[in-house]
Amino acid sequence: MSKEENDCSDGACAIDYTQETESKESNTFNKEYLIPSIGLFFLLIGITFDFYEVNFFKGYIPIIWFGIIYLAVGGPIVLKALKLIAKGDVYNEFVLMSVATIGAFAIGSYAEGVAVMLFYVVGELFQEAAVNKAKRSIEALLKVQVEEVLVLVDDRFVVKHPKEVEIGQIIQTKPGQKIALDGALVSDFATLNTAALTGESAPDTKQKGEDVLAGMVNLNTVIQIKVTRKYADTKLSKILKLVQEAVGRKAKTQQLISRLAKVYTPIVFWLAVALVIIPYFFLGTDYEFQMWFQRALIFLVISCPCALVISIPLGYFGGIGAGSRNGILFKGSNFLDLITKVDAVVMDKTGTLTKGVFEVQEIVSVDFDTDKMMSLVAVLESNSTHPIADAIVGSVVINHDSTSNMINHDITATNVEEISGHGMKGIVDGYEVLAGNTKLLDKFNITYDKNLHSITDTIVVVAINQKYAGYITIADSLKEDALLAISELKKISNITDIVMLSGDKQLVVNKVAAQLGLTNAIGGLLPEDKINEVEKLKSEGKTIAFIGDGINDAPVITLSDVGMAMGGLGSDAAIETADVIIQTDQPSKIATAIHIGNATKKIIWQNIYLALGVKILVLILGALGMATMWEAVISDVGVALLAILNSVRIQRMKF
C-alpha cells in the first residue's frame, strides 16, 4: 500500500478537512466579535466616566478615549466609504454612517458617534452570522462531495482527486466512504445509503453492472466501480453547481428594494443637507447651526436603509436554505416568489407520483403450482431485457419464500423465441412455456378466461404445454407519500387545479387517479400532448407548476411557470431545465416548496413594513428635533436587528 493510500484509507482526509474548515470558521467568528466586544466595554466605561464627571475625564481625554474606540470599531467602515467615494459611489450606507458618526464627533457627541458605529458593525456581524447559518443549510449538500478517491493504476490503487479520473477507470470505495463518481458496479453487490440523493434512509442493494451515483455511501464491503461519467458531469456535481448559482438569482421584490435604495439614499442625503441650510432663511438670528446640524446627522442615521438592504436578501437566502434543509433546491430567490402565485399543479404520473418501476402485483395460477409456474416464466423471461421481464425475474429472486420459488440457474431456456408484440416462447425444464399478452395465446389457439381483458394492469398470460396456466399482473406502484402529496396540495387555498398527465393507457391512469383521489387525470399522452394540455391551462390564465422526472418531461418543465423536477434519480434533462428540484424524489415536497415560498414572502413583507414604518415615523421626529441620536441608533440598528431576527425565523420553521 502506498503512503497516500494509507493516509486516506479510512476516510480521515475528508474528516480532517471538515474539522479544519469548521475550526477556521470558529476562529474567524471569535476574531470578528472580539473588537466590538472590547469596544462596547470601553464605551460603557467612557459613558460612566462622563456621566459621573470623573475628574481626569475632561478636556481632550474624552475625544481621545472615544476616538480610539471609534477607529478600532469603525475604521474599516470609514476606509470602505473612502474607497467607494474614490470610485464615484457616494450614496451608500457606508458613506452615510461615516458622515453621520464623524459629524457627531464634530459637535461633541462622542459617545453617540461611537455607539452608532458600534451598533452598525454589530448589526453587520449579526447579518453575516445569519447568512452563514443559511449557508450551512445550503452547503450541507457540498459535504457529500469527495475530495479524494482510490483509482486503479498499474495494478495498485493510488489516491487522486475525482477531477483527474477518466471514464473507464476503476475506483475503489471502502465501507463508510462516499462514492466519488458515477459508474457501474464491478463488484458482485453493494449495500448503499442513498439518502444524499434520494432522501431514502433505507439501504439500497445494487447488483453487479447496476449504476451507482456519486454521493451514495458504501455500507458494507470494499467495492469497485467502473467510472461512466467524468467529475463535472456527475449528477451530484450538476446539482451542487445549481446550489451555488441559486443565491445569485434575485426575486422581483429584492430587485425592487435594491433599486429603491439607489434612489432613496441620495434623496435622504440631500434632505439632510437641506435640513441644515433651509431653516437659516426662515429663522434669521434665531438660527442655531449646531442644533440643525445635529438634527441632520440624526436624520442621516435614521435614514440609512440597512434594515431593507440587509433583511430582504437575507429573507430569500433563508428561504433557499430552508428549502435545502427540506431536500428542495430553489434555483433562485425569484422562484420563491413565483411559486406563491401557483394556482394549478400539473404532475407526470410515472416517476413522480409512482415509483417508475414495474412490480408484480398479483399471481394467479390455474391447475398448476404457482411457485413452479413463476419459476418457469422467470427462467424464460431472463432471456429478455424488457422492463416487464425484469419485474418478473426480480420478483422471483427477491420475494422467494422457499428454494422452489427461486430461479434454478442450472435450468436454462432453450428454443427461445421472442414474438414481437406478443411475448416469448421457449422450452424450460422440459415444459413448453408461453408468456405474453392474450394475443400470444390467440396465436397458438389456446383458450383462456376472457375476463382477463377487463384487467387494467399490464398482464402476462401464461400457457404451459399448450394449456392456459394462469396470469401475472404487473404495475407501477404509488410512492409512499403520493396520497399525502395530493392531500397537502388540496389544503392550499389558492390551488384550484391538480392535474395528472401520463403516457400510460387511460384505464391505468384512471386507476391511479382513483387511488389518489384525483378527478382530473389524462392518459395516452405523448410529450407534445402534455405541452398542449399545459398550454390549455395557461390560456385560462393559470400560473402553472409542472412536476416531472423523465427526459420527455423537459419540454413541459420549460414551458411551465415553475418547472419542478424529481432530482434524486431523475433525468439530467429534467433537472437542468427545472426551476425547483425535489432532491428527495418525494411528491409531498411539492406542497412543502409552496409553503416555504409563502413563509418567505410573508417574512419579506413584514420586514418591509417594519423598516419603512419605523423609519418614516422617526425621520419625522428627527426633523422636528423630537428624536435624539440614541433614538436614531435604536430606529436604525434596532430595526435592522429585528428584521434580521425575523428573517432567520424561516430557518427554524417546520414545513
Query: What is the full DSSP assignment across 471-511?
Result: EEEEEEEEPTTHHHHHHHHHHSTT--EEEEE-SS-HHHHHH
Q: Is the dihedral of CA 68, 69, 75, 78 positive or negative?
A: negative
**Cβ–Cβ < 8 Å for 204, 192:** yes
Dihedral of CA atoms 15, 17, 19, 22 in degrees, nearest 10, equals: -140
Residue 452: DSSP 8-state: G
Beta bridge partners of 462: 435, 470
- Nearest in space to 277 (alpha carbons), one of 258, 256, 299, 257: 299
Q: Which residues contact 15 (CB under 8 A, 6 or more apart)?
A: none
- Nearest in space to 402 (alpha carbons), one of 371, 378, 445: 371
Place of cell 398448476: 368
Please report, for residues 188, 461, 616, 618, the alpha-carbon distance to residue 391 in angstroms, rounded to integers and kept in the order given.
Answer: 20, 15, 68, 71
What is the amino acid identity at position 558? T
Taking the mean position of all CA atoms in its chain, how far away is CA 395?
35
- Choice among 337, 343, 348, 579 that is catalytic: 348
Question: Packing angle between helix 589-623 and helix 252-283, nearest 10 degrees?
Answer: 0
Exposed (0-12), middle (13-18) or buried (19+): which is 235, by Cβ within 10 Å? buried
3 state SS of 95: helix
- Nearest in space to 596 (alpha carbons), one of 558, 526, 537, 653: 653
Place of cell 427477491: 398
**Cβ–Cβ < 8 Å for 49, 57:** yes
CA 334 – CA 302 distance, rounded (Å): 30
Residue 348 annotated to the active site? yes
Long-range contacts of residues 251-256, Cβ cutoff 8 Å, at least 24 apart: 251/316, 251/332, 251/333, 251/334, 251/336, 251/337, 252/334, 252/337, 253/312, 253/337, 253/601, 253/604, 253/605, 253/608, 254/312, 254/313, 254/316, 254/333
- Nearest in space to 433 (alpha carbons), one of 390, 394, 378, 392: 378
Compute the 3-state secondary structure of the chain and give helix, strand, coil in percent, each to the nearest 5.
55, 15, 25
User: How many Cα neighbours within 13 Å face the side chain of 155?
Assistant: 0
- Nearest in space to 627 (alpha carbons), one of 174, 295, 187: 295
Q: Report, as residue numbers or ranges, the catalytic residues.
A: 348
